[in-house]
Amino acid sequence: MSRIVTLKRRDLILGATAAALVPSLSALAADSRRLVITPGQTEGPFYPVSFPADMDNDLVRIQGQAAQATGQVAHVVGRVLNRRGEPVRGAMVEIWQCDAKGIYNHPGQAGLQRRDTAFQGYGRSEAGADGGYSFRTIRPVAYPGRTPHIHFKVHAPGAGRLTTQMYIAGERQNATDGPLSSIRDRAARESVIVRLDPADALEPGALKGTFDIVLDI
Ligand SMILES: [Fe+2]
């Protein structure tokens, strides 16, 4: 009698476990169909040689300065995920980009003296428990030879790093950009092209885009 009860209990437990697994497995399958490993891209010549005193995730405003960077504000958010779609908690996301005049804060940059000193140019955001990161920056602009882009470097705790670039949907020069065109796989190429939508509710006149980064880990 007690054996039967035990079996029944176990059946109940197994049944409940299986029921719990069904939706998560199907969700996982759906995720794995959608997930595209984010392709690596060249670091380029303008990764900072020295870091700014302020390197938070708001590139539009530098601590201690009243001026705000020139350019259209863009909120760039996303999640850092592994290939199974799980968040990579604690991943450090770095970005760097040129200012609204197309000038990087880098000693190798021609015309450096003309740069927008109110633009932070580089920032960091640490992924939270959900893998989420966020930046407040400006909409990237084109400069000679390049379509608008934001450079990314993502450090996964104990699992290496990914250097890549994010692009903007609808940019005419995307089709002829060297680094972007070097991503031969179409799905991989499209995975780094992000739509920026008006986000006036967030901040008047601002844009917002979502760039999820899928690491091959
Ligand atoms: Fe660049």
The whole-angstrom separation of Cα 118 and Cα 159 is 35
For residue 153, the CA-to-ligand 1 centroid distance in Å is 13
Residue in the block written with tokens 């870091």: 51
Distances in Å between the Cα of 195 and the Cα atoms of 121, 144, 208 are: 21, 22, 8
pLDDT tens digit at each of 217 positions of the chain:
344 444 444 444 444 444 444 445 555 554 555 799 999 999 999 999 999 889 999 999 999 999 999 999 999 999 999 999 999 999 999 999 999 999 999 999 999 999 999 999 999 999 999 999 999 999 999 999 999 999 999 999 989 999 999 999 999 999 999 999 999 999 999 999 999 999 999 999 999 999 999 999 9
Distance CA 62, CA 24 (A): 43
Predicted TM-score of the model (pTM): 0.85
- Ligand 1 centre to CA of 103 (Å) is 9
Q: How far apart are CA 100 and CA 107, in angstroms?
A: 18
CA of 146 to the centre of ligand 1 (A): 7
- Compute the distance from residue 67 Cα to the ligand 1 centre, in Å: 24
